[in-house]
């Protein structure tokens, strides 16, 4: 999986924007990203069950920094101090909800 061309945290709009190149841009609202954190704190390694409360997706949560990890992932530091979650490119791609990645069956629009 290739690294994206750019990763931008849009603090005003509260979403993370990832530009994969070739016109493919993914947008991840902060709450959505945090909900999909795969770290051992958020997700039980054995059962796959999510831990903690949904309260964490609260309105005040922001990203304080995004750090590249090798060439395969980013580490997101949240305003509540949570920083153990790694988001691999692969994971981020699978979370993308754009029409290209997650076509909505309802629409019959042709490209």
The residues binding Zn ion (CB under 5 A) are 26, 37, 39, 41-42, 85, 96, 98, 100-101
Beta pairing partners, 17: 8, 27
Q: Which is nearer to Zn ion, 14 or 36 (CB)?
A: 36
Q: Distance (Å, rounded) from C-alpha 86 to C-alpha 107?
A: 33
Q: Distance (Å, rounded) from C-alpha 49 to C-alpha 90?
A: 20
Which of 54, 50, 37 minimizes the C-alpha distance to 92? 37
The least distance separating Zn ion from the CB of residue 93, rounded to whole angstroms, comes to 7
The least distance separating Zn ion from the CB of residue 24, rounded to whole angstroms, comes to 6
Q: Which is nearer to Zn ion, 1 or 101 (CB)?
A: 101
Tokens of 81: 């101090």
Q: Which is nearer to Zn ion, 68 or 101 (CB)?
A: 101
């Amino acid at each position: 999986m290739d690294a994206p061309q750019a990763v931008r945290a849009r603090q005003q709009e509260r979403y993370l924007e990832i530009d994969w190149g070739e016109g493919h841009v993914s947008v991840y609202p902060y709450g959505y990203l945090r909900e999909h954190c795969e770290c051992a704190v958020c997700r039980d390694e054995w059962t796959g069950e999510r831990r903690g409360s949904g309260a964490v997706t609260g309105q005040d949560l922001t990203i304080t920094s995004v750090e590249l990890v090798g060439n395969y992932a980013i580490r997101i530091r949240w305003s509540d101090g949570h920083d153990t979650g790694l988001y691999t490119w692969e994971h981020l791609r699978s979370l993308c909800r754009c029409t290209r990645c997650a076509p909505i069956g309802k629409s019959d629009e042709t490209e």
